[in-house]
Amino acid sequence: MKKILITLVCCFLCSTGDCSAADWKDQAVLNLEQSPHAKLHPVPVRAVRLNDGFWKSRQTVTEAKSLPSMLALLEENGVMDNFRRLTGKKKVARRGPLYTDSDIYKWMEAAAWALHNHDDPKLRATIDSLTEEIRAAQEPSGYLNTYWVEERAKDRFQKMQGGHELYCLGHLLQAGVAYYRATGNRNLLSLGEKFVAYLERDFGPGKKPLLTGHPELELALVELYRTTGERAHLDFARYLLSGVERERLSLKDSEVKYMFSGIPFTSRKQIEGHAVRAMYAATGAADYYMETGDAAYLKTLNALWEDTVERKMYVTGGVGSRPQGEAFGEVYELPNQQAYTESCAAIGNWIFNQRMLAITGDAKYADVMERALYNGINSGMSLSGTLYCYRNPLASYGEKIRNPWYTTTCCPPNIERTFLALSGYFYSTSREGVYVHLYDNSAMDWRLESGTPLKLAQKTDAPWGGKTTISVDPARAEEFTLFVRVPAWSKTTKLTVNGKPFAAAVKPNTYAALKRTWKPGDLVGLEFDMQPRFVAANPRVPEDYGKAAVQRGPFVYCVEQPDNTAGPVSDLAFSAAAPLTPEWKAEFLGGIMALTHKGLTWPKPLAGEPLYSFIGEGPGSPTKAADLLLIPYYAWANREPAAMQVWLPLR
């Protein structure tokens, strides 16, 4: 009855143009409460507290070190001055590539998520003052971009393949939504809305043609629709995804392939082109599906997911293997040293899978999210929080890979916004109950969809250990299902409820569904299998054939030169017969579970062998015992630049 009443009120509000069904405070990373084709509904960031543990310390560093240092660098590199010069506040030339506006927007989004975790009046004031400076640069029409001004103004929306006007707008909207959900203040959001109103008035079928070029606006528009209830935004997202303007814009095959926009999304058969563009396009399409249920979209999304995860993704969850064009390669084209694997692309993979998880409730998507988060995204930020990887290769000769700043600095604030919103990815609700997706010390204070207040608290030694208890505290006894994720890497899992073994089989890569009448104080116990394992790649990945990577829990491991004195890391091999032994090192690389292993190296150190020799005449094979130390991949490159490898020959 209560649910029906809420729905009626919401419908009324939607028809009056205010569809913020959930109060701003109650809106999650994605506000899916009214999305008819979302099975799961994320729990708001503010309703989940990360307690002392792995991710809390990453968040603390992000907030204390990354946010201030990145803002200082954005200022130093003229990103805000690009706005100030338009209002006469600064008399300087425009600096940086044409998409720098998006970098400050992403920073503002990150800062806004930080406010969900706890209020910080100084940070709020910083966002407010940046907002005012950005507002001052917005044109009365609503147009807002610091690059396409003055002599370039005549080219607005003329070079959309690479112009990034809509990419920047997408990030502005996302920042505005995050800040609105943090504070109830719509000032930042209103700047994006004004630009969108301008677009919706002048562009579209029967008006001027528009193309995102770099997808991003699509997903932002759907979230704007979820925030305001204005259907026009969803329709405009459909227009952008429908790729109907190919002819009017005379787009070439190579362009639509590279941009992942410009032809109907639903005509796509494979993931290709620029990796971040492709991932953001798929994410936007999945958002669109959640609102409309258009089956053609789901069919395409499934095909693209399969192509990505089964043929084009690294073991770290990174995607986009080619430096040329920052692009996806052919199937199984996954070079290690040359891997491009931009941090933003791994984040794209994370958000794409977040949407697929919300649509289906299928654990396979959470598994990809976890893989990307702990490895390919996590590697993108140094332990200090002030140095970043743009590329995340899986092997290195020791080149410098981390920098505080890049001329194209898209990745740093992207990682920051991901880490600071992280608690919002831990739990979801559904009509049946509540889902636990990720494991770390945390406390959820939210409600079931029946309206009953519910608290969950995870106490765990994850991610280094496998034991977790979850206390379940509904405000009153109630029957619902607690879905706990059983990761694909946990071959055997022990699951108990109030100390008694859970009767049904617990399979890897599923959610164990615990349906019962839950009472305040009930306790769920989980014990995952933390056995380190060798991982093989599909034999068609030429670079990895005959080699193995190592995984323990969610972490992929690597060998880095300073820890391995037996020889250059490129001369080392794993021994299939020898164990991988965990060793906790509290004082090393911020506290890690290292792995020791009796591996192999060449009987005589390699030195000056011919480039090619007949079999039987060359150096043979690595047969000499060598002590190896493996560290989690994310922790590499936190010392002097040094060689590193994820994949080693397995003997």
- Site for Zn ion contains 346 (CB under 5 A): no
Map 325-363 to HEC letters.
Answer: HHECCCCCCCCCCCCCCCHHHHHHHHHHHHHHHHHHCCH
- Site for ligand FUB contains 471 (CB under 6 A): no
Least separation in angstroms between residue 423's CB and Zn ion is 23
214 contact choice in Zn ion, ligand FUB, none (CB below 5 to 8 Å, kind-dependent): ligand FUB
SS3 428: strand
Pairwise CA distance, residues 214 & 254, whole Å: 14
Among positions 189-218, residues that touch ligand FUB (CB under 6 A) are 214
Site map (CB under 5 A) of Zn ion, residues 444-463, x = contact: --------------------
- φ, ψ of residue 333 to 5 degrees: the values are -85, 90
What are the structure tokens assigned to 93, written together? 């030339």
Measured from the CB atom, the residue of 408 and 496 that comes closer to ligand FUB is 408
Among positions 276-305, residues that touch ligand FUB (CB under 6 A) are 276
289 contact choice in ligand FUB, Zn ion, none (CB below 5 to 8 Å, kind-dependent): none
- Site for ligand FUB contains 311 (CB under 6 A): no
326 contact choice in ligand FUB, Zn ion, none (CB below 5 to 8 Å, kind-dependent): ligand FUB
Pairwise CA distance, residues 154 & 157, whole Å: 9
- Site for Zn ion contains 381 (CB under 5 A): no
Residue 257, C-beta contacts closer than 8 angstroms, at least 6 positions apart: 272, 273
- Site for ligand FUB contains 326 (CB under 6 A): yes
Which residue from 272, 291, 342, 543 is in contact with ligand FUB, where contact means CB under 6 A? Answer: 342
Which residue from 50, 263, 410, 628 is in contact with ligand FUB, where contact means CB under 6 A? Answer: 410
Cis (ω within 30 of 0) for the bond into 463?
Answer: yes
Measured from the CB atom, the residue of 10 and 387 that comes closer to Zn ion is 387
- Site for ligand FUB contains 408 (CB under 6 A): yes
Least separation in angstroms between residue 409's CB and ligand FUB is 9
Least separation in angstroms between residue 107's CB and ligand FUB is 15
Measured from the CB atom, the residue of 326 and 440 that comes closer to ligand FUB is 326
Measured from the CB atom, the residue of 164 and 238 that comes closer to ligand FUB is 164
Nearest to 639 by CA among 297, 400, 288: 400
Least separation in angstroms between residue 326's CB and ligand FUB is 5
Among positions 403-442, residues that touch Zn ion (CB under 5 A) are 410-411
- Contact between 643 and 570 under an 8 Å Cβ cutoff? The reply is yes
Least separation in angstroms between residue 348's CB and ligand FUB is 8
- Site for ligand FUB contains 271 (CB under 6 A): no
Least separation in angstroms between residue 411's CB and Zn ion is 3
SS3 598: strand
- Site for Zn ion contains 351 (CB under 5 A): no
99 contact choice in ligand FUB, Zn ion, none (CB below 5 to 8 Å, kind-dependent): ligand FUB
Least separation in angstroms between residue 538's CB and ligand FUB is 26
Measured from the CB atom, the residue of 214 and 402 that comes closer to ligand FUB is 214
- Site for ligand FUB contains 99 (CB under 6 A): yes
- Site for Zn ion contains 344 (CB under 5 A): yes
- Contact between 539 and 545 under an 8 Å Cβ cutoff? The reply is yes
What would the DSSP string read from start to end of 482-532? EEEEE-TT-SS-EEEETTEEPSS---TTEEEEEEEEE-TTEEEEEE-----
514 contact choice in Zn ion, ligand FUB, none (CB below 5 to 8 Å, kind-dependent): none
Cβ neighbours, 10 Å, residue 246: 18
What are the structure tokens assigned to 406, written together? 């890049």
Strands (E), 397-464: 402-403, 427-429, 433-436, 442-447, 453-460
- φ, ψ of residue 57 to 5 degrees: the values are -70, -30
The footprint of ligand FUB on this chain (CB under 6 A) covers a number of residues equal to: 8
Measured from the CB atom, the residue of 29 and 344 that comes closer to ligand FUB is 344
Nearest to 412 by CA among 178, 98, 103, 81: 103
SS3 164: coil
Name the burial class of residue 490, with classes exposed (0-12), middle (13-18) and buried (19+) by CB atoms within 10 angstroms of its CB: buried
Residues in the chain, how many? 651
352 contact choice in Zn ion, ligand FUB, none (CB below 5 to 8 Å, kind-dependent): none
Radius of gyration of the chain measured on its C-alpha atoms: 25
- Contact between 345 and 276 under an 8 Å Cβ cutoff? The reply is yes
Least separation in angstroms between residue 314's CB and ligand FUB is 16
Which residue from 43, 344, 381, 537 is in contact with ligand FUB, where contact means CB under 6 A? Answer: 344
Pairwise CA distance, residues 314 & 377, whole Å: 12
Least separation in angstroms between residue 149's CB and ligand FUB is 19
- Site for ligand FUB contains 104 (CB under 6 A): no
Pairwise CA distance, residues 271 & 576, whole Å: 35
Least separation in angstroms between residue 323's CB and ligand FUB is 11
User: Which residue's beta carbon is nearest to the bound ligand FUB?
Assistant: 276
272 contact choice in Zn ion, ligand FUB, none (CB below 5 to 8 Å, kind-dependent): none
SS3 277: helix
What are the structure tokens assigned to 23, written together? 């109060």
The amino acid occupying position 88 is G
126 contact choice in Zn ion, ligand FUB, none (CB below 5 to 8 Å, kind-dependent): none
Residues that bind ligand FUB (CB under 6 A): 99, 214, 276, 326, 342, 344, 408, 410
Q: Which residues bind Zn ion (CB under 5 A)?
A: 342, 344, 410-411
